[in-house]
Amino acid sequence: MTAPLASVDLPAPVLTASGCAAAGRELDPFLDLTELGAVVTKSIMLEPRSGRATPRMAETPSGMLNSIGLQGPGVASFLAHDLPWLRERGARAVVSVAGGSVDEYAALAERVGGEEGVTALEVNISCPNVESRGQVFACDPAAAASVLSAVRRRTPARVPVLAKLSPDVTDIVEVARACVDAGADGLSMINTLLGMVIDTDTLRPALAGVTGGLSGPAVRPVAVRCVWQVRAALPDVPILGMGGVRTGLDALQLVLAGADAVSVGTATFNDPSAPLRVQRELRQALAERGFARFTDAVGAAHHQLPRRRAEGVPA
């Protein structure tokens, strides 16, 4: 099940999702990271960052709300410890980078993009867990384009640059197009949705940061919709799809909508082996439906649409 994504050929179509397993060490006891398409790291920032105040996790009926706030040790620690470890393990690394300014993103691209073992950069312009929503570049097409243009210029041409988009926008296609026009080689979608939980005992917001990012099964239909819309508008742009994937059939929905590969995130919290399990289930689901190759299924739901319309089935 090889999966071409931008200019790289991944040996498998399932990846981890950024923010759910740091740089892969936590999952290593439970699965062989080399069997995955790649490990997508937690977003790296230039300097160490403590993140938002606690509590910063809350359960919801069908997902999880978090307001971690891009906590991390900074790029120097990542380059000294995490990236070498991934190389030694033989795992492919898609490195997620995040910043508070265009210059910070550019500096990260320059420091990380040329490092040995970096398969691609995922540019997180859409994290909702920052104190200032003004930092969410993905909510403005021009701001998103500025970041992607700067990152693309500072990243070696052999390393694909993926823009990670937010579903919390009026028109995700407009933002996607702006990123691609600015030099993005592909798109990651979706990041979490901005949400909120109120504790009915304390009568206060459950998270210290008040709002957080919603992930898990609740967001999957939103992710499928976003991938579908962007695939229809930009059919040649590579897409890494994610959002609430727990099973192979969940992953298949994203693939049929147009994702060239799929990331598994929140599911790893209660099943650390979920990425490989999902990959096995996806392989079986494709075989049962007569797909000879994984790539034959990418965007296949779009191909079915004219026939269904002809049969009188509403679009």
> Is 124 annotated as a binding-site member?
yes
Q: Say whether 127 is catalytic.
A: yes
CB 31 within 8 A of CB 23: no
CATH code where residue 116 lies: 3.20.20.70
Identify the CA nearest to 252 among candidates 207, 300, 211.
Answer: 300
CB 19 within 8 A of CB 68: yes
Q: What is the full per-residue pLDDT of the chain (315 aa) written as tens digits?
A: 899 999 999 999 999 999 988 899 999 999 999 999 999 999 999 998 888 899 999 999 999 999 888 888 899 999 999 999 999 999 999 999 999 899 999 999 999 999 999 999 999 998 776 655 556 888 899 999 999 999 999 999 999 999 999 999 999 999 999 999 999 999 999 999 999 999 999 999 999 999 999 999 999 999 999 999 999 999 999 999 999 999 999 999 999 999 999 999 999 999 999 999 999 999 999 999 999 999 999 999 998 655 544 344 444
At 106, is the secondary structure helix, strand, or coil? helix
> Is 129 annotated as a binding-site member?
no
| Domain range enclosing 116 | 3-51+70-194+215-303
Distances (CA, A) of 177 to 5, 125, 226, 282, 302: 18, 14, 13, 29, 19
Identity (one letter) of the amino acid at 257? A
115, part of any domain:
yes
> Is 216 annotated as a binding-site member?
yes
| 127, 139, 179, 226: the active-site residue | 127
> Parallel, antiparallel, or unpaired for β 93-97 and 186-189?
unpaired
> Is 66 annotated as a binding-site member?
yes
Total tally of structural domains belonging to the chain: 1
